[in-house]
A and B are shown apart, each in its own frame.
Chain A
Amino acid sequence: MIKKRINNLYGVISVVIIWYILTIAIGENMIPSPKSTVEELIKLLKNNFLYDILFSTYRIFLSIFFSLLIGVPLGILIGMSKVFDKILSPLIYLLYPVPKIAFLPVFMVLFGIGNKSKVILMVTIIIFQILIVTRDGVKNIDKDIMVAAKVMKFNTLDMIFKIIIPAIAPDIFSSLRVSIGIAISALFFSENYATEYGVGYFIMNAWSMVDYKGMFAGVLALSILSLIIFKIIDIFEKKICKWNKK
């Protein structure tokens, strides 16, 4: 426990040190010091900045929710059925590497310029990881467990809830961790249009107004937000995958 705390603290201290070095090397005008950035962030939080954070958080959680809601059942279906695997897997392989941000204009036309197109953009980024990890997880379930299930006369629902979901749960958490980082950077892009609130919008706005202090405060807020989301995922994983003592 104490060791973990020290590790966390070590991360923060190294970032702050590198930050200070860059501030000194490049100049306070381009890279505001950590101290003035934190002060700026506190000042911003006293104003309306909290709304930006809340809106971004809302979009991130919404996209995680929909990615899981669609990705996990579809991944299970592809993993269980050879027919679906043959039909859908080539499609997934083809679409996975496509830069989804390139489709942003299409999403805007199809889903409007509000929250919907922003969340859908993030879903299209997160969902592929979840789909592939779920499918592979289902395929890799130990053969003996499947035989045991047959001996114990499991029906399809038993198979899904007593074997497949618990077996792939740790993999899903890992894929969430990988894809959320990417999704948050995509959020940054999607919050650039038709937005009133959002950390991404705030950062871009500060940037175009040459308000570097504000921009850095926004980046710092986004990092802290990501850290909190990662921690929440860790907590959920510990609660749900109790058997998985890594």
Chain B
Amino acid sequence: MINIEDLTVKYGEEKAIDNLSLFIEKGKSYAIIGKSGCGKTTLLYTIAGLISNYEGKLEIGGETSLILQNLGLFNWFTVYKNIELGLNSFKISKEEKKVKVDSILKELGLYDLKDKYPGELSGGQKQRVAIGRTIISNPEILLLDEATSALDSINKEKIQDLLLDIRSKRNNTMILVTHNIEEAVFLGEYIIVMKDGKIDSIINNKYFGDKNIRKKQEYFQVCNEVRGKLYD
């Protein structure tokens, strides 16, 4: 659960978030969409605890973890070590860590790549490493900042499928920021349209969770509804 009341975040004189209130239910998935500069990334960073200079109320019930737009992988560590770093603040033994890392590596199809360095991986593989590093600590709230924006459309859909799988398996709360309408509709149970630091509208996506939705007519209907709100 996340409760945001009258949140304002300023960069100098400019308001990035303007008196915003939002309630996020536990175990649900939210996609925040809007034009660049609408404050969506600032909102996500504030929830992630990376911005402490805000006004208003912010209650966060549970651990958060964030996947960054440019991933922030450590090029000098192997895939294995990068994922293990997700457990950095955990006080558990090396053996316990190994069990967890191995299971994540297998789940994400990265086991054969565990001794490679990020520089040797493809975009989609790097993305999976970043996801692995984030989900290994099993955070209650998973935050994603434009997580698939650097990928080509085929890899984009593969990663979206993976994210949907992860969420339905673990049932964690997911908040993702995107500028891609199709991604918002595929991954968001609620689609939050932001404009000028405020929430413009919230669309309830009743088709959420259907892995084959991309081929269906209803998908385009929801996409068009979002499009309508965005360009309003």
Chain A 126-150 per-residue mask, 1 if CB under 8 angstroms from chain B, else 0: 0000000000000000101111111
Instruction: Please tell me the number of chain A residues within 8 Å of chain B, measured between CB atoms.
Output: 23
Is A204's CB within 8 Å of the partner chain B? no
Q: If A144-B71, A162-B74 touch, does A152 touch B50 (CB 8 Å cutoff)? A: no
Is A167's CB within 8 Å of the partner chain B? yes
Candidates A144, A152, A244; contact of B88 at CB < 8 Å: A152
Decide if the interface of chain A is mainly helix, strand, loop or mixed.
helix
Whole-angstrom distance between the alpha carbons of A245 and B48 in the complex? Answer: 35
Q: If A144-B68, A243-B75 touch, does A151 touch B48 (CB 8 Å cutoff)? A: yes
Listed residue (A145, A146, A158, A167) with the most chain B CB atoms within 10 angstroms of its CB: A145
Q: Contacts of B48 on A, CB cut-off 8 Å?
A: 151
The answer to whether A151 and B50 have CB atoms under 8 Å apart is yes
The answer to whether B117 and A151 have CB atoms under 8 Å apart is no
Q: Contacts of B117 on A, CB cut-off 8 Å?
A: 242-243
The answer to whether B76 and A153 have CB atoms under 8 Å apart is no
Whole-angstrom distance between the alpha carbons of A158 and B85 in the complex? Answer: 10
The answer to whether A144 and B89 have CB atoms under 8 Å apart is no
Nearest A residue to B78 by beta-carbon distance?
Answer: A243
Nearest A residue to B116 by beta-carbon distance?
Answer: A243
Is B66's CB within 8 Å of the partner chain A? yes
Candidates B72, B85, B118; contact of A144 at CB < 8 Å: B72
A200 vs chain B, min Cβ distance (A): 38
Is B36's CB within 8 Å of the partner chain A? no
Q: Contacts of B68 on A, CB cut-off 8 Å?
A: 144, 147-148, 151
A87 vs chain B, min Cβ distance (A): 27
Chain B 60-76 per-residue mask, 1 if CB under 8 angstroms from chain A, else 0: 00000110111111111
B184 vs chain A, min Cβ distance (A): 23
Interfacial residues of chain A within 162-182, with CB under 8 A of chain B in the complex = 162-163, 166-167, 169
The answer to whether B119 and A144 have CB atoms under 8 Å apart is no
Whole-angstrom distance between the alpha carbons of A188 and B157 in the complex? Answer: 64
Whole-angstrom distance between the alpha carbons of A149 and B65 in the complex? Answer: 11
Q: If A145-B72, A162-B74 touch, does A152 touch B119 (CB 8 Å cutoff)? A: no
A105 vs chain B, min Cβ distance (A): 44
Is B86's CB within 8 Å of the partner chain A? yes
Pairs of residues from A and B, 9 with the lowest C-beta to C-beta distance, nearest first: A148-B72, A166-B76, A144-B72, A243-B117, A153-B89, A144-B70, A152-B88, A151-B66, A145-B72
**Which B positions have Cβ atoms within 8 angstroms of A?**
48, 50, 65-66, 68-77, 85-86, 88-89, 117-119, 133
